[in-house]
A and B are shown apart, each in its own frame.
Chain A
Amino acid sequence: MRNELLDMGCRQLRDEIAAGQVKSVAATEAVFEAVEKYEETIGAYISTFRKQAIAKANEVDEKITAGKKVGLLAGVPIAVKDNMCTAFGATTCASKILENFHAPYNATVIEKLLAADAVIVGKTNMDEFAMGSSTETSGFRRTVNPWDTSRVPGGSSGGSAAAVAGRLCFAALGSDTGGSIRQPASFCGVVGLKPTYGRVSRYGLVAFGSSLDQIGPLTRTVGDCALMMNVIAGYDQADSTSVDEETAPVCDYLEKLDEPIENLKIAIVPQFNAGADEQVQKALRDAVGTYKELGAEIIEVDMPHLDYAVAAYYVIATAEASSNLARYDGVHYGHRTDNASDYIEVYSKSRAEGFGKEVKRRIMLGTYTLSSGYYDAYYLKALKVRNLIRSDFTDVFEKCDCIMTPVSPTTAFKLGEKVDDPLTMYLSDVYTIAANLAGVPAISIPCGFDEKELPIGLQFLAPAFSEDRLLRIARMFEKQTDWHKKKPVIS
């Protein structure tokens, strides 16, 4: 018997907790009951914090009983991807090299969640160091898709998406370097937002591709996504790349959420969509129909440089990763080999033992592209492509409010299907990568199911720092459809 509380949205739950109608402890207990029951099947978490979560829930409940003011996420059980540092528990990035690493500090987003009185229930599984699109490169466990347990949840934030879809939390944080929030959101039938680069602090997010990484929410509804953004968005002086209030003020993303955008103009990129599965294309056509009914104008645009996005991305992301992951050397923290005869072997053996295959592949790729004699041909060229893609976006956004694309060319694929075929795996990021290269915000929302009853995602991309409009555009669709109300039955 499933606890009905678990189907409640964050906003409603928060309001009822704040009003004293529901106890945070009850919601938190419900989550852990579900975890006990389904986690063995789903494998969404790397670690959970039952005792600490119940204590926090009690604390929030007591605050409310005492009539004290509570935060925006008062008592709401939230999960976070295991690449965000927490001063409690381990922060592993799903890598053996950080298996027993306990960060001495909280990431800025963790501080913000705690300040908003959220209850952090656990840390979710992911591809090792966020490198992957199926959560299968995790060094610890397999996460399955709640809609079909023989399939992947997507990745790299697969644990967060599966936890949100499988009712093992009410909302989650993920990180997105090339689609790692949006693709698993689409595979698991939930909402996932990658904010503008610089909108959410990266301080405490274990870096993969520093110029591409961004933290964002995975939720069941657009409204919950807006609520989460209200908590996590904003300038952070500890992150030099976060954008200050003067340049781009944060706003209340809930305030006008239900107001449709007038004279909405949506661009589609036909060149782009052709590569998607027929059922994905059909869902997109249906979505076009829905927006037309809402009075939106649909235009077709060309983005000539998008064809090079995947190539540019895999040069830039791996180059940055090769440098970012240099610090895991067995010297200062993390896994250290037992069999070193000198310090060079401390490095080489610790890394050989600690990193998985995909991480090693990307470190080698990145090291190669940054090497002298290759830098200009690869890294520098990729930066030029990146600039061309950026200007493609600038041009298109002069003509429209947003761009609509699929999230992924396919729905969730079978476990093991692509894990040994990195190139095919990389190509599954084809629609999501451009947003990271250009730094613009993008959202994935549920827009239907294929014939195998697997969720399909719809992606919108909008100009930098227009998350408020992006959420409103998504909300217009959500109001007209009930895809977001479907939930998986976990077998």
Chain B
Amino acid sequence: MGNLQYKVIVGLEIHVHLRTKSKMFCGCALEYGATANSRVCPVCLGMPGSLPVMNKQAFEYAVLAALALNCKIAEFTKWDRKGYYYPDLPKNYQISQYDLPLGTGGFIEIPLQSGQTKKIRIIRVHLEEDAGKNLHPAGNFSQIDLNRAGTPLLEIVTEPDMNSAAEVRALAVELQRIVRFLGVSVADMQKGHMRFEPNINLIITRDGTEYKTPIAEIKNLNSFRALERSVDYEIQRQLDEFLQTGKVMEMGNKTTHGWDDENQTTVLQREKEEAHDYRYFPEPDLVPVVMNERWLNEIKSKLCELPLQKQMRYVSEYKLSDYDAGVLTAERSTAEFFERAVKKGGDPKRVCNLLTQVGLKLANEAGCTLAELIPAAENVAELAEMIDTGKVSASAGNTIMRKMAESGEKPQIIAEQLNLLQKSDAGELEVIVDKVLEGNPKAVEDVKSGGKKSKKARGFLLGQVMQKTSGRANPKIISEILAEKLG
């Protein structure tokens, strides 16, 4: 076999549904799960005589995403027709963008397991309409649901800059976080909001000679797991194939595969890359889109710090763990809520704990955002401070957090109502300590005599004080008083 090394080369094509209210070129509602063919009109049905009208919101979302991917935005872009016959495509052409995509030449930064980041170059970003769905019920026929036809679809094409399945996955996850952060897509994988098509091959070095395996494209992957596993599978398959056949990349020997989730294998769909002729030409029913500076600036103003940058900043600036920072930056609303609470004076670590241990769980249960759950971030800041200054214990803090979500009351009031305030007044506590010492001379003796029993007796006395205060005394202060009195 000789000395063999290989490098994995992967490029990705990603389709993302945008979260507009209506479709790309008509007024039909975008609604997942509606009765088949109930969200359709002459335009998305491709009826004779119907004409498309561009959804401006979709275009703005697409530009915003392209900006976040560091793309150059075209000042002039147009629509093209991509012709192919398929039953789920009512016009038998798809309105897309061919030679003048709205965004070109960008990059996306992805986190690596090493903790570093890597830039993956973006070739282009363009907007198009999605097709419907072919359904194949049992029997000698198929059905077509056109509810999805005309959904605004963002297509993102990367350079083949990824070198492992883990990197491919990281890009997919990061992209999901970005489009969610920007609010341009719900990016729900289960609803098919994101679909991936990796192009994979290997550069194999054997005995000093380089070989490139034929490129394989895997179509239509709609989960991170399937994406990562199919790439891994394909790497191994190509390696095996090379070792068996020695086959290398040639013009036209790119293959197309599907992913068989049940058997966890890729399945060959097309042996040779068919000479696809889509007969692109400019869509005469739509006018070109001219992006002027004012409009572009308007869209730019909706940009924000991207999740990965935020995550890294939380780690360096707030000393949060990478994990916690990741949780807080999973959704833009969570990060914004966190930042508001910190800005109001909450200790970042403490606020983080309140949010990750209680707030997010409650919000998740209620199916809403943190801000919807607890409108006033300053209440969380205040609660964090109460914990930090010992006014309430950390566990009482969690209880108060839950109550805040229910009633919206200020933490101070909740703490009072629930008698959760810790007694930290040294004078008041001293009186109680004295009473306890008076009533337990044996324990006092044991402490003073030192030795084995001393530690246990000190704990007993502290417990007595806590009992007398119904657990609301600040244990730190009691210890101090005891130490002072008993030495």
Contact = CB atoms under 8 A, between A and B. Distances in A.
B156 to A, nearest CB: 24
Interface in A258-314: none
B279 A372 contact: yes
Interface in A75-122: 83-85, 91, 93, 98, 101, 103-105, 107
Contacts of A85: 47-49
A204 B49 contact: yes
Contacts of A326: 83, 85, 91-93
A103 B47 contact: yes
Contacts, number: 99
A379 interface: yes
A333 B47 contact: yes
16 contacts: A83-B49, A103-B42, A103-B48, A202-B51, A204-B50, A211-B284, A241-B284, A241-B287, A323-B83, A326-B83, A326-B85, A326-B93, A327-B90, A327-B91, A332-B90, A370-B280
A240 B53 contact: yes
A248 interface: no
A104 B92 contact: no
A331 B277 contact: no
Nearest to B283: A210
The B interface is mostly helix, strand or loop, or mixed, namely loop
Q: Which of B49, B83, B91, B144 counts the most A-chain CB atoms under 10 A from its CB?
A: B49
Given A98-B48, A332-B45, A238 B53 contact: yes
Contact of A238 (B46, B51, B83): B51
A84 B46 contact: no
A127 interface: no
Interface in B227-284: 277, 279-281, 284
A319 interface: yes
Contacts of B284: 209-211, 241, 320
Interface string A185-210: 00000000000000000111111011
A101 B91 CA distance: 16
> What 9 A-B pairs come out closest when comparing CB atoms?
A326-B92, A210-B284, A370-B279, A211-B284, A204-B49, A206-B48, A85-B49, A206-B49, A327-B91
Contact of A379 (B53, B83, B142, B281): B281
A347 interface: yes
B100 interface: no
Contacts of A204: 49-50
Interface in A205-220: 205-207, 209-211
Nearest to A343: B87
B246 to A, nearest CB: 32
Interface residues of B, number: 29
Interface residues of A, number: 44
B281 A329 contact: no
B285 interface: yes
B48 A93 contact: yes
A237 B50 CA distance: 12
A387 interface: no
Interface of B: 42, 45-54, 81, 83, 85, 87, 90-93, 142, 144, 277, 279-281, 284-287
Contacts of A52: none
Nearest to A332: B90
Nearest to A319: B281
A395 interface: no
Contacts of A202: 49, 51
B93 A323 contact: yes
Given A210-B284, A319-B281, A375-B281, A327 B46 contact: yes
A428 interface: no
A337 interface: no
Interface of A: 83-85, 91, 93, 98, 101, 103-105, 107, 202-207, 209-211, 237-241, 319-320, 322-323, 326-329, 331-333, 343, 347, 367, 370-372, 375, 379
A202 B91 CA distance: 17
Given A323-B281, A326-B83, A367-B279, A105 B42 contact: yes
Contact of A332 (B46, B50, B52, B83): B46
Contact of B144 (A239, A241, A323, A331): A331
Q: Which of A203, A238, A326 counts the most B-chain CB atoms under 10 A from its CB?
A: A326
A247 to B, nearest CB: 12
A327 B48 contact: yes
Contact of B51 (A98, A203, A322, A370): A203
B49 A329 contact: no
Given A327-B91, A327-B92, A240 B49 contact: no
A143 B16 CA distance: 52
A103 to B, nearest CB: 7
Contacts of B91: 326-327
A234 B417 CA distance: 69
Contacts of B279: 322-323, 367, 370-372, 375
Contacts of A333: 47
B286 A91 contact: no
A439 to B, nearest CB: 12
A204 B43 CA distance: 10
B325 to A, nearest CB: 46
A370 B42 contact: no
Contact of B287 (A240, A322, A379): A240
Contacts of B287: 240-241
Contacts of A371: 277, 279
A375 B284 CA distance: 16
B260 to A, nearest CB: 23
A238 B47 CA distance: 14
Contact of B81 (A209, A241, A323): A323
B196 to A, nearest CB: 27
Given A210-B284, A327-B92, A101 B42 contact: no
